[in-house]
Amino acid sequence: MSPLFLLLLACSTDFEHPERAFAEAPASDAPLHPVTIHAPPTLGAVDAVGTDIHGTPLAVSCDTCHGGSDPLAAANANPEEMHGDLVLNHGPISCESCHSKDRLGLHLADGTELEFGDAMQLCGQCHGPQKRDYDKGSHGGMTGYWDLRQGPRERNHCLDCHGAHAPQIKPVKPAAPPIDRGRVQGEEH
């Protein structure tokens, strides 16, 4: 029998395991599932030590000391003690490039006020190419479905991967290859 004939014969039969056959494609006008952006749990609050009984990381809100009717709260706290260990290593920009005067939120270059929750808009203002790549899905990763007709998708927040104050990704150290214990010493592959 010719090999071509065998191939045609093989193609004409059904799946050997029908349960592994592809699912039916959803209708092209099926409703789309949502795309959500994961928000870091202590976004816009000072990280504290430990977690609450639900396992949520503890954090202190900025208005504990800033912007309240009692300016003494801030005056009494020692700034060195409060934010002294914060390392800013983010190009030649200052706290005021991002934080609003009352410290309760962020602002764009034109003065537009932003909530901490909208921090990605702030990043996008100065990092247009990365924000564009992110919007197209080639920066920042995702989990869930490519085809939103089949299920929802979750995107990472810029701040899931980059610290706001020292955003550099550390170089990855190359690791030694795993030891293959099954391989005989000196054996050729």
Question: From the list 35, 43, 58, 148, which residue makes contact with ligand HEC (rule: CB under 6 A)?
Answer: 43
Question: From the list 25, 60, 101, 132, which residue makes contact with ligand HEC (rule: CB under 6 A)?
Answer: 60
Question: From the list 41, 93, 115, 143, which residue makes contact with ligand HEC (rule: CB under 6 A)?
Answer: 93
DSSP alpha helix (H) spans, the chain: 3-12, 72-76, 79-83, 95-98, 119-126, 128-136, 158-161
**Pairing outcome for strands 45-51 and 57-61:** antiparallel
Question: From the list 35, 37, 39, 45, which residue makes contact with ligand HEC (rule: CB under 6 A)?
Answer: 45
Q: Please say which residue, 26 or 79, places its beta carbon nearer to ligand HEC.
A: 79
Q: Please say which residue, 40 or 144, places its beta carbon nearer to ligand HEC.
A: 40
Question: Distance between CA atoms of 72 and 163, rounded to whole angstroms?
Answer: 30
The distance from CA 90 to its chain's CA centroid, rounded to whole angstroms, is 19
97 counts as binding ligand HEC under rule CB under 6 A:
yes
Q: Please say which residue, 30 or 82, places its beta carbon nearer to ligand HEC.
A: 82
49 counts as binding ligand HEC under rule CB under 6 A:
no
| Cα angle, residue 13 at apex, residues 12 and 15 outer, rounded to 5° | 125
107 counts as binding ligand HEC under rule CB under 6 A:
no
Interaction mask 132-171, ligand HEC, x per CB under 6 A: --x----xxx--------------x-xxxxx-xx-xxx--
- Residue 12: φ, ψ to 5°: -80, -15
Q: How far is CA 21 from CA 25, 26, 91, in A?
A: 12, 15, 53
Q: How far is CA 56 from CA 40, 60, 63, 66, 170, in A?
A: 11, 13, 20, 23, 27
Q: How far is CA 62 from CA 27, 88, 89, 106, 135, in A?
A: 48, 18, 21, 12, 30
Question: From the list 39, 58, 118, 127, which residue makes contact with ligand HEC (rule: CB under 6 A)?
Answer: 127
Which positions lie near ligand HEC, rule CB under 6 A?
40, 42-47, 60, 62, 64-66, 74, 77, 79, 82-83, 86, 88, 90-91, 93, 95, 97-99, 103, 106, 116, 119-120, 122-127, 130-131, 134, 139-141, 156, 158-162, 164-165, 167-169
